[in-house]
Amino acid sequence: MTIKELLYKVPILATAGDMEAVINHLTLDSRNVGPGSLFIAVRGTVTDGHTFIDTAVRQGASAILCEEMPVNPEPAVTYVQVQDSAYTQGLIAATFYGHPSRKLNLVGVTGTNGKTSTATLLFRLFRALGYRVGLISTVQNQIDDTVIPATHTTPDVITTNALLTDMLKHGCTHCFMEVSSHAVVQQRIAGLHFAGGIFTNITHDHLDFHGTFDNYIRAKKGFFDQLPASAFALVNIDDKRGMVMLQNTAARKESFSLQTLATFKGKLLADSLFGLHMEIDGKEVWFKLIGRFNAYNILGVYGAAVLLGEDPEEVLTQLSGLMPPPGRFEQVVSDEQIVGIVDYAHTPDALQNVLETIDGLRQADEQIITIVGCGGNRDAAKRPIMAEIACKFSDKVILTSDNPRDEDPMAILEQMQAGVPPIDFKKTLTLPDRREAIQKAVSMANPHDIILVAGKGHETYQEINGVKHDFDDRQVLLEAFANVKSGSVDTP
């Protein structure tokens, strides 16, 4: 495709060089540039892509898209200046790949918690309904049975268009994708055509990136503001920001609720360790998912499926058989009946939901032992809050590391400790080594006690100073259970 063809409908400020130059590769990263590449210079949070234009040219880039023309342009290279290269990237990627998002039903899910759960349940539901389906999620991307590892919750828009193209080649009719707030702000969904958008909820997270809660809300709303009139906008109206999401959307406004009148109204009849019993649209159904928060995920999934034209009864039948995604309330039980629960709760709201669920489900005087940490290079304000919530609902708490990234693990833990109420000091331990923390919890547990290992869920690594070390909470729990059994861990 020539650069001129690629720029169809793109607002341009200036150009230099041959507009017939042929482009066979798009990239944001100078390190991936080769002959035939169009390098898109984007201003980032750490560095500015414009500083890599010369490197891209040296590596043989055929064209450069930028917001600022270089002082000494290379005559053999084509330059295009635009107002916003991150946004333009979306338009170009759609043209380059032939608008794959218009050729299937692309549904985006946004919200602080529940995106992976909702998108994965939709993916599994539509497969069970007999479709070929794609998934773009934190845990993994998927085209039917083929798993493609994910690096982000929402990939950059070039990757998404490439994934959608592969999905079409495999005959997919639907793709369910998570839309993170970072992605909305960084234009990672620009130029994508959505058939629908779902809002799960909004609570405290990512204030490091967005600055204020209002900006965070605005970012989520930005997704709905971009939806076309042909799409549906389905929001949880039990969340007080649900209606805000609908304020300026051109899409069809739909809602779901457990508490009030809504397009899709559900009632939670019972909630146990075996699952949820709900009434939806007048029908009583059992589901295998655990926790009230999953009742919301189920309703959102049900609503989206019906809005996509599926038969409500068939949807409920298939939904009732579905299991939660990996690392979401995943249970690992020891031979002595100590119950380990691995859950991806890494926000105050998710942690509180999961602990309330566990507290509501415990039978008698079982102890709840919570292991929790907070990510480095991420929102620091949530650290003391999460420690406080862990203390409120647990008999014992072990504060530990969860991807310290470039931060000092002890500095993160000290910020968490600041949230521990003095009365709870005696039930709180701090062990920066996560393996040691899990072993300690297991050594303290009696049969039927519940150990919540929060924050990492499906993750199979611990990221320290840019290096991802193998670490899987489920595996480490199993090992600790085995060690206790063989007597190699001290029991108190």
Ligand X SMILES: Nc1ncnc2c1ncn2[C@@H]1O[C@H](COP(=O)(O)OP(=O)(O)OP(=O)(O)O)[C@@H](O)[C@H]1O
Ligand Y SMILES: CC(=O)N[C@H]1[C@@H](OP(=O)(O)OP(=O)(O)OC[C@H]2O[C@@H](n3ccc(=O)[nH]c3=O)[C@H](O)[C@@H]2O)O[C@H](CO)[C@@H](O)[C@@H]1O[C@H](C)C(=O)N[C@@H](C)C(=O)N[C@H](CCC(=O)O)C(=O)O
117 is in an annotated binding site: yes
Q: Least Å distance between CB 180 and ligand API?
A: 7
Interacting positions 132-171 with Mg ion (CB under 5 A): 138, 153
* 404 alpha carbon, distance to own chain's centre: 19
156 binds ligand Y (CB under 6 A): yes
Closest CA to 57 of 24, 89, 35: 35
Tabulate helix, strand, coil % of the chain (nearest 5): 35, 25, 40
403 is in an annotated binding site: yes
What does the alpha-carbon distance between residue 23 and residue 41 come to, in Å, rounded to a whole number? Answer: 16
Residues whose CB is less than 8 angstroms from the CB of residue 188 and which lie 6 or more positions away in sequence, other chains included:
90, 154, 155, 156, 157, 160, 182
Interacting positions 172-191 with ligand Y (CB under 6 A): 180, 182-183, 186
Alpha helices, H only, 308-457: 312-320, 348-361, 382-393, 409-417, 434-444
Q: Least Å distance between CB 116 and ligand API?
A: 9
Interacting positions 367-426 with ligand API (CB under 6 A): 375, 378, 402-403
The sign of the torsion formed by the CA atoms of 468, 183, 92, 160 equals positive
Closest CA to 313 of 129, 53, 457, 127: 129
155 binds ligand API (CB under 6 A): no
For ligand API, the closer CB: 33 or 412: 412
138 binds ligand X (CB under 6 A): yes
186 is in an annotated binding site: yes
116 binds Mg ion (CB under 5 A): yes
CB atoms within 10 A of CB 147: 12
Q: Least Å distance between CB 138 and ligand Y?
A: 7
Interacting positions 307-346 with ligand X (CB under 6 A): 328, 343-345
Inter-CA distances, 226 with 108, 136, 219, 233, 306, Å = 12, 19, 11, 11, 22
459 is in an annotated binding site: yes
Backbone angles phi, psi at 178, to 5 degrees: -80, 140
Residue closest to ligand Y when measured from CB atoms: 44
Interacting positions 9-38 with ligand Y (CB under 6 A): 28-31
Contacting positions for ligand API (CB under 6 A): 138, 153, 346, 375, 378, 402-403, 455-456, 459
Binding annotation for meso-2,6-diaminopimelate:
378, 402-405, 455, 459
Binding annotation:
28, 30, 111-117, 153-154, 180, 186, 188, 378, 402-405, 455, 459
Contacting positions for ligand X (CB under 6 A): 111, 113-117, 138, 153, 178, 200-201, 293, 296-297, 328, 343-345, 349-350, 353-354, 457
